[in-house]
């Protein structure tokens, strides 16, 4: 398993623990044993994602609530909620990560940890958040930026 994939899985588990146990981010990270035994880079990525999602929880939860029409946010299961929080944070705040990667990783985690309906539900909500609130990732680069200029060759002596 790749470092970032493992990091996302750990971040999801931290966010799940926060929701289920009503724990603070600091407590969840401090007592999450898998984080302590994980590869250093995966643990650092997980902690950064979990802290980022936690620090932006009100904004993220509002976006999820807005997109999950006909669903009371408080009644969403903790697995789906944690995955959508992780995905929404990445889509909006981690501009270096392609949206397609974020969506795919959250869907794969939903398949592994969620209910039969979780992958489609998580995908639907996150894709709508991507379309409505992550324009920097979705917008194509102007043609002038996408062409790389080759350095001029020096004349032979």
pLDDT confidence of 134, banded at 50, 70, 90?
A: low
Predicted local confidence at residue 146, as pLDDT: 40
CATH of 3-133, one of 3.30.420.40, 3.40.50.300, 1.10.940.10, 2.140.10.30: 1.10.940.10
Torsion of CA 150, 155, 156, 157, to 10 degrees: -140
Work out the percent of the chain whose per-residue pLDDT is above 70.
84
By mean pLDDT, which of 21-30, 35-44, 110-119, 131-140 is the weakest? 131-140
The pLDDT tens digits of the residues spanning 60-116 come to 999 999 888 777 777 889 999 999 999 999 999 988 889 999 999 999 999 999 999
55-75: burial string, b at 16+ Cβ within 10 Å, e else: ebbeebbebbeebbeeeeeee
Q: Judge whether 91 and 134 are in contact, CB under 8 Å.
A: yes
Mean pLDDT on 115-130 = 94
Model confidence at 140: pLDDT above 70: no
Q: Judge whether 43 and 33 are in contact, CB under 8 Å.
A: no
Mean pLDDT on 25-46 = 84
Give the span between the Cα atoms of 119 and 123, in whole angstroms: 6
Predicted local confidence at residue 141, as pLDDT: 45
pLDDT confidence of 117, banded at 50, 70, 90?
A: very high
* Domain boundaries of the chain, sorted by first residue: 3-133
Predicted local confidence at residue 151, as pLDDT: 46
Query: Encoding tokens for residue 37?
Result: 């035994």
Single pTM value for the model:
0.81
Predicted local confidence at residue 68, as pLDDT: 82
């Amino acid at each position: 398993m790749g470092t970032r994939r493992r990091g996302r899985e750990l971040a999801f588990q931290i966010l799940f623990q926060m929701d289920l146990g009503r724990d603070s981010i600091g407590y969840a990270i401090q007592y999450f044993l898998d984080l302590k035994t994980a590869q250093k880079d995966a643990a650092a990525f997980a902690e950064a994602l979990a802290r980022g999602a936690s620090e932006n929880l009100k904004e993220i939860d509002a976006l999820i609530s807005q997109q999950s029409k006909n669903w009371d946010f408080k009644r969403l299961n903790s697995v789906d909620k944690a995955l959508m929080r992780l995905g929404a944070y990445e889509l909006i705040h981690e501009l270096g990560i392609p949206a397609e990667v974020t969506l795919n990783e959250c869907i794969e985690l939903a398949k592994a940890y969620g209910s039969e309906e979780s992958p489609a539900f998580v995908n639907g909500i996150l894709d709508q958040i991507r379309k409505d609130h992550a324009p920097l990732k979705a917008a194509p680069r102007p043609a002038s930026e996408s062409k790389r200029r080759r350095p001029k060759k020096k004349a032979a002596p």
